[in-house]
Chain A
Amino acid sequence: MASVSIRNLDLAFGNVEVIQNLNLEIEEGEFLVLLGSSGCGKSTLLNCIAGLLDLSDGQIFINDKNVTWQEPKDRGIGMVFQSYALYPQMTVEGNLSFGLKNAGLPAAEIQRRVTQASEILQIGPLLKRKPSQLSGGQRQRVAIGRALVRDVDVFLFDEPLSNLDAKLRAELRVELKRLHQRLENNTMIYVTHDQIEAMTLADRIAIMQSGVIQQLADPHTIYTKPVNKYVAGFVGSPSINFLEGEVKAGKKPRFVSEGIEIDLQRYEFKGTPTNGGATFGVRPEHIRVGEKPGAGHFQSKVIVDVVEPMGSDTLVWTRLGGEDFRFRVDGQSNLTSGEEVAISFDPAASSLFDARTELRL
């Protein structure tokens, strides 16, 4: 049973089309991440689901109920915002209970829910404080609590961790995951531009660009089998290496670029390979250095250009096929600039895109 269902959603501000004909089905208990760079329409979509923006066209269903024109409070959603959006003049308790009071719940029930939520989030000792007396992490916990007390089926998160520093972000990320495991029947829709959050939290990721979902799949598929060049380039850090060239089809399909030739017999084509311009993508961590290449693997000798040690591992910049080419080695590596190294990779783990349509081949 779909928990949230979006049909043919259109949204335009004046003449600017923000979202066009978007369809999305989200299962009950699913953790869906909307991932994309700023301005891709992901937050707009979330606001539409919340009922904070009026659609131009289309329908939205939550728990099989048509909520397209309903007020946010009647949709059975709770929402957590990037800036926490805590009411500054109210205490933590006041923040948690504001929605419940508006809904006219009896005081005892409000008390019960506030207590329960504050236990889950370990904010019990903070209940009497004002938001200004809390740290960033505590504030975001309260903001989550405010969604929690509403006892709803669908949680909407709008970049909830973006305002926190890196360390806190990592901590709260784990807590969110724990929370989702505990509330396993609750659907969560989570907007972020941070791919690590997306990869670690999501059951499925929807990658958005200019108001269109580019790919909707589980994190592993997104990472290993990106449907197009945009997705491949967006996901992964350090980002994927692209080589421009062309595919030579035939019995032994090959990818040819400036001075190199990659054997594509091990690559899984979606259809039958044809001749034509293409982009070859291989992730920096799939490149092996100094090892004996396996059968059908690509190998080459390259000159080290720049070495960027990052502690746990080291990023090495070099040139291949006339382009910048990065690969990752472990942190102990003692490669130096100007040195020649032998590299190899398995074409099966790489991606190939049509040069014109940018779609996966």
Chain B
Amino acid sequence: MLTGKAQDGVMTTQERPNQLFRNISAKIAALPMIATALVVFLGGTLWTIFYSFTNSKLLPRLKFVGLDQYERLWTTNRWLISIENLLIYGVLSLIFSLVIGFVLAALLDQKIRFENTFRTILLYPFALSFVVTGLVWQWVLNPDFGIQKVLRDMGWTSLEFDPLYNPEIVIYGILIAGLWQGTGLIMCLMLAGLRGIDEDIWKAARVDGIPMWKTYLFIIIPMMRGVFITTLVIIASGIVRIYDLVVAQTSGGPGIASEVPAKYVYDAMFTKQNLAQGFAGSTMMLLSVLIILIPWAYLEFGGRKRV
């Protein structure tokens, strides 16, 4: 097939060789990726969804019970508290990290001195694990030795500030730790977005006499729409997974006041021998991520043609 030599001036034509074997090395090299994508990500997800319709307990088994697991899930107090916590934590964490992240980035973008020092300080918590974050804040918020004690010693003797021991506000205690750990990252993303804006925009705004806050609000932020959306997706999909922080900081307590869905799922699967409940819970988590993800993917990739 490879000999296309001319014979008597007639040159033979060649058919397209089998496409499967073209670039065969590349395809072999991509096998781990293909296997991961298909077996673990796609297969694993489908498997979990599938088994969430069974009544698997200690081991997965194929006894279908329809939507029973979901019914149980949504009538379980612990799951409902988890969802409520996730909503409070999620909404507040989104708002605060975006606002704080952007303001810090805008401050750092003022051509200040020691920019690197400030950035290093604001970002270092992100290098720490959630476990470390949770434990530090557990200590700082400790009512007997931490902030409450210090403030009481300073004279506010009746002051109550013990978020980790008060079921009503425990989720805000976790929020404080989560923001401390994560806003540095948001600031960095925002700063990158600000740096990506053409200097001439600032010059034009200044020539037009537009005050700085108006320039940010009406010109810069709309221009950073893409950065905001991407950041939003990043924060949101991280929030749904929140687990280590809660485990380390409160272990879900006091009582079940600071439970979150990821912890519910883990406990159902590995400590309560109630696999299918865990599967149903994780399927709900997947669903909530897809609700965030699909509109974003559509906006990001659906609008323009991909080559």
Determine whether the beta carbon of B16 is less than 8 Å from that of A69.
yes
In the assembled complex, the CB of B27 is this many whole angstroms from the nearest CB of chain A, namely: 15
Known contacts A13-B307, A54-B22; is A67 also within 8 Å of B4 by CB? yes
Inter-chain CA distance A250–B275, complex, in Å, is 95
**Chain A contacts of B12 at CB under 8 A?**
66
What 1/0 flags go to B151-190 for Cβ under 8 Å of A?
A: 0000000000000000000000000000000000000000
Cβ contact within 8 Å between B5 and A64:
yes
CB distance from A224 to the nearest CB of B (A): 35
Set B2, B11, B22, B307: member contacting A64, Cβ < 8 A: B11
| CB nearest to B2 among chain A residues | A70
Q: Interface on B for A, CB 8 Å cutoff?
A: 2, 4-6, 11-14, 16-17, 22, 307
Q: Are B14 and A59 in contact (CB under 8 A)?
A: yes
Closest A-B pairs by Cβ, 5 of them: A66-B4, A64-B6, A59-B13, A68-B14, A66-B14
Interface pairs (23), CB distance under 8 Å: A5-B11, A7-B13, A13-B307, A54-B22, A59-B13, A59-B14, A61-B6, A61-B11, A64-B5, A64-B6, A64-B11, A65-B4, A65-B6, A66-B5, A66-B11, A66-B12, A66-B13, A66-B14, A68-B4, A68-B14, A69-B16, A69-B17, A70-B2
Q: Which residue of A lies closest to B307 (CB)?
A: A13
Binding site for B on A (CB under 8 A): 5, 7, 13-14, 54, 59, 61, 64-70
User: Which of A14, A65, A68 interacts with B5 by CB under 8 Å?
Assistant: A65
Closest residue of chain B to A58, judged by CB?
B13
Q: Once bound together, how far apart are the Cα atoms of A61 and B17, in whole Å?
A: 16
CB of A61 within 8 A of CB of B22, answer no
- Cα(A68)–Cα(B13), bound, Å: 9
Query: What CA separation (Å) do A70 and B5 show in the bound complex?
Result: 13
Closest to B15 in A: A69
Note all chain B residues with C-beta closer than 8 A to A70.
Answer: 2
A54 to B2, alpha carbons, bound, how many Å?
16
Q: Which residues of A contact B4 (CB under 8 A)?
A: 61, 65-68
Name the residue of chain B whose CB is nearest to the CB of A8.
Answer: B13
In angstroms, Cα B67 to Cα A128, docked, is: 73
CB nearest to B1 among chain A residues: A69
Residue numbers in A under 8 Å from B22 (CB-CB): 54
Nearest Cβ in chain B — how far from A195, in angstroms?
29
Closest-by-CB residue of B relative to A7 is B13
A14 to B6, CA, bound (A): 33
Q: In the complex, which residue of chain B has the Cβ closest to the Cβ of A59? A: B13
New A-B pairs, 10, CB < 8 Å, besides A5-B11, A64-B6: A7-B13, A14-B307, A61-B4, A64-B5, A65-B6, A66-B11, A66-B13, A68-B13, A69-B14, A69-B17
Chain B residues with CB under 8 A of A68: 4, 13-14
Residue of B nearest to A13 (CB): B307
C-alpha spacing A279/B14, complex, angstroms: 45
Best-surrounded residue of A5, A61, A67, A69 (most CB of chain B within 10 A):
A69
Instruction: Tell me, in angstroms, the Cα distance from A67 to B13 when the chains sit together.
Output: 10
Instruction: Give CA–CA (A14, B306) in the complex, Å.
Output: 11
Docked pose: A69 CA to B23 CA in angstroms? 12
Which A residues lie within 8 Å of B13 (CB)? 7, 59, 66, 68
Shortest CB–CB separation between residue A273 and chain B, in angstroms? 42
Nearest-neighbor residue (CB-CB) of A61 within chain B = B11
A346 to B216, CA, bound (A): 64
Q: Which residues of B contact A13 (CB under 8 A)?
A: 307
| A56 nearest CB across to chain B (Å) | 9
User: How many Å lie between the Cα of A54 and that of B18 in the bound state?
Assistant: 12
Instruction: Report the separation of the CA atoms of residues A102 and B307 in the bound assembly, to the nearest whole angstrom.
Output: 32
Most B-side CB within 10 Å, residue of A13, A64, A67: A64
In the complex, what distance in Å separates the CA atom of A85 from the CA atom of B22? 25
For the complex, what is the distance from the CA of A13 to the CA of B14, rounded to whole Å?
Answer: 21
Instruction: Report A-chain residues with C-beta under 8 Å of the C-beta of B17.
Output: 69
- In Å, the complex CA distance between A7 and B43 comes to 46
**Which A residues lie within 8 Å of B5 (CB)?**
64-66
Choose among B5, B14, B22 the residue with the greatest number of A CB atoms under 10 Å from its CB. Answer: B14
Residue in B4, B5, B6, B14 with the greatest tally of chain A CB atoms within 10 Å = B4
Give the nearest-CB partner of B22 in chain A: A54
A67 contacts across to B, CB distance below 8 A? 4
Write the chain A residue with the least CB distance to B13. A59
Minimum distance in angstroms from A52 CB to a CB of chain B = 12
